[in-house]
Amino acid sequence: MWTGTVGDETGIRVAPRSVRFSSMSWLPLLIVASLIVVVALALGRYNELVRSRKRVQEAWSGVDVQLRRRNSLLPNLVETVQGYAAHEREVFEEVARARGALHDAATAGETANANTALTAAVGRLLAVVESYPALHASDNFMSLRNDLRDIEEKIAFARQFYNRNVLDYNTRLETFPDSIIASSFAFQPAEFFAADARERTDVRVSFTPTPAVPAPPRTAA
């Protein structure tokens, strides 16, 4: 049986039809396989974006828990100080307004601004304590102050953890190929929980009375 290649009238060797048909039959399979790989990669990137967004939401819940703890603690602190300095009404009202603004904040940006205002109000509240030495000996006040300090440290840690997750998530939204998937499925960037210069500095209250500055001696006329 003859097994050589088939030649046409011009003398050019032509591969058998079975060989040509066999090579062409692989083309649809190759296209389908490529599409499957692309879809699988796209689904993998989509799932990574979803997980990254969930990590941001989980980190924010940690911030929210600590903010709620502080909001629950402040009325007791205000009431304790109020028992010794009832006439400092303006400071107490400022704390109450700041607490309400923080409670009503809907976004991370609004919460950050409200938290800054509340931190400033609490700082003024604690400054009032300097004028009332009896508060320094109050076990209730000292316990509340220590609890407040502990919560403030946890808020700072939770905020840092949240912002790290936001940075990772937002970077994914701007990096190829995640940026294509993010725009196709309407992934939105997350807001940072930023602190301004006033809040970056710890509120420090000295419980030692400030010595009075002696008046300069009067000179004889």
Hey, what domains does the chain have and what are their CATH numbers? 28-200 (1.20.1440.20)
**pLDDT digits 0-9 by tens, 70-112:** 999 999 999 999 999 988 999 999 999 999 999 999 999 999 9
Confidence of residue 22 (pLDDT cuts 50, 70, 90): low
The set of residues, in sequence order, having a beta carbon less than 8 Å from that of 45 and lying 6+ positions away, is 177, 178, 181
Q: What is the pTM of this model?
A: 0.75
**pLDDT digits 0-9 by tens, 155-209:** 999 999 999 999 999 999 999 999 999 999 999 999 999 865 544 444 443 333 3
Which is nearest to 98 in space by CA: 84, 112, 109? 112
Instruction: Tell me how many degrees the CA angle 200-201-204 measures, rounded to the nearest 5.
Output: 145
pLDDT reading at 49 higher than 80 = yes
Confidence of residue 213 (pLDDT cuts 50, 70, 90): very low
